[in-house]
Amino acid sequence: MRRFYKIGLILKIVWILLFINSCHNNSDYDFSPYSSEGNLALNDGTTKSPDPLESDEGWGGGQYPWQIIDGIRFSTNFWTSGLAFTGGKEEYIDTCGWRQATINFGVPVQFNRTVIWMERDTIDHYYIQYWNEENKVWKNAIEVSDKIKKLKEYYLIFYEEHFKTYQRSSIAYEDTFPTVTSSRIRFLFNNCNSGHGWINEFEVYYDKEGERPKCMVIRK
């Protein structure tokens, strides 16, 4: 009996290793500089919604909130892209503290996955929240901690592949959570113990059952 238990344990370990390793092949990652199909937050500039206008103001070269929903994950011009928050440990422009980026869809939509493309991997603890219209409060879809440690699994892969082709890079903060329905979503964090934070693109998805990518980075 003990022998069969050991064999079963070995097979389980092998299966886990195969699953983990399958997510380390470059073919598992989407290196495209553009958002994937189905991005609910995408606005090509032809409609009023979705919009990012409730987000905090940026500074320096990151004062362009509309760029976080334009479908472009990173710009070849470092100093004129996305939303760079004030504060952080360096206290750029303002003191550190709570910062947020909000996307207003205009109408209630279902979603259960976000991919926020950041300029660097400096934000370690944050919340993905949705607006509860009935109670007029923000509720947590998910609270994320120790993210930088998790990002190390694929950070260099993205960095090398992006620079090889585009001479620029961006890192994907991807999170999944139970499906919620709301007209607004926000990324909330406190930057007193981190870099100030700089968003290049804020993507939102609704994955139907059986359609979610197997790896924790969007696949083509």
- Residue 53 DSSP code: T
d(CA 17, CA 122): 28
- Residue 28 DSSP code: G
pLDDT, tens only, 69-114: 999 987 766 566 899 999 999 999 999 999 999 999 999 999 999 9
DSSP of 161-194: HHHHHHS---EEEEEEEEEEEEEEEEEEEE-TTS
pLDDT over threshold 90, residue 28: no
pLDDT, tens only, 174-192: 999 999 999 999 999 999 9
Give which of 63, 43, 52, 53 is closest to 196, Cα–Cα: 63
Per the CB < 8 A criterion, the answer to whether 101 and 57 are in contact is no
**Domain 30-205 CATH superfamily:** Galactose-binding domain-like (2.60.120.260)
Give which of 29, 26, 15 is closest to 213, Cα–Cα: 29
Residue 216: its pLDDT value, please?
A: 56
The whole-model pTM stands at: 0.83
β-pairing verdict for 126-132 and 83-85? unpaired
Per DSSP, the three-state class of 5 is helix
Per DSSP, the three-state class of 129 is strand
The mean pLDDT value for 146-167 works out to 74
pLDDT over threshold 50, residue 193: yes
